[in-house]
Structure 1
Amino acid sequence: MLLRKYVSMFGIGSAKIDLVLPKTAFQPGELLNGYFILEGGIVKQNLRRIDCDLVMVDKNSTEKIIDSTTIYKTEELEPDETNKLNFVYRIPKTLQANGKGIRYLFKTKLTFDKGVESLDEDWITVVS
């Protein structure tokens, strides 16, 4: 059991997060109703927070954070447990549509009391 605890601290068998979106194309100002799937790893882990950033990537692969959402969670995620957490977000009205080398993605990070962070990326298209 102790070995499992230490390997999960290095990312092997640790808990994971996945942002599930209802679709991939959105209009500026549109309300997005998605959810996070939290999957437990091989040992019990204490969740601390979920950060989800809307990021713009330009043609030079330069990233700029457009908006951030943080959810503070203090709960234990048991081994092999799966939880669902709703995610409601309004796409900013000021976003320009994809094109001219501009793309958007949600970068999600699940942080634990101990161990590595779980990361997820979901690309979206903004249409006008």
Structure 2
Amino acid sequence: MILRKYMSLLGIGSAKIDLILQKDTYKPGEMVHGYFLIKGGTIEQQLKRIECDLVMVDSEADEERIMDTVTILTSTLIESQAANQISLTFRLSDSARPSSETLSYRFKTRLVFSEGVESIDQDAIKIV
């Protein structure tokens, strides 16, 4: 049991997060609907917060910029091997530029625990 606890503190066997979106193509100003799927690891872990950033990547200017952030503060205990869902509703900016060969968008999601390594997920979206 102690070995599993220390392994999860290093990120081995810890809880994981996955952002599930209803679709992957949106228009500026559109609502994004989905949910965070949290899967418990080998031991129970205390969740502190979920952070989800909308990141714009401009490869031409070699720039990565956070456009908006959603933070969910919580003190939920993630049970071993359990699965939890938390809803997400997010409004894209009316001024979001369309995706192109050099401009892309992604949601970068982090699951932050009171102890242990963060779990990170990235999901690309396209703005038309």
Q: Normalising TM by the smaller chain, what interval? A: over 0.9
CA deviation vs aligned residue, 1:49-94 (integer Å, no higher than 9, x gap): 0000000001144210000110001010010000010000011111
Partner of 2:81: 80
> What TM-score results when the alignment is normalised by the length of structure 1?
0.96
Is 2:107 aligned against 1:101? no
The letter for the 2-side match of 1:66 is M
In 2, Cα distance between equivalents of 1:116 and 1:15:
10
In 1, Cα distance between equivalents of 2:125 and 2:10:
30
In 2, Cα distance between equivalents of 1:43 and 1:100:
42
The letter for the 2-side match of 1:76 is L
Identify unmatched segments of 5+ residues in structure 1. Answer: none
Partner of 1:28: 28
Deviation at 1:32, TM superposition (A): 1.1
CA deviation vs aligned residue, 1:10-65 (integer Å, no higher than 9, x gap): 01000000000011100001111100000000001000000000000011442100
Identify unmatched segments of 5+ residues in structure 2. Answer: none
Partner of 1:64: 65
In 1, Cα distance between equivalents of 2:76 and 2:127:
34
In 2, Cα distance between equivalents of 1:125 and 1:42:
35
When the two chains are superposed, the root-mean-square deviation of aligned CA atoms in Å is: 0.9
The runs of 4+ residues in structure 1 deviating greater than 2 Å are none
SS of residue in 2 equivalent to 1:41 = coil
In 1, Cα distance between equivalents of 2:51 and 2:122:
12
What is the count of residue pairs matched by the alignment? 127
The letter for the 2-side match of 1:122 is D
Partner of 1:38: 38
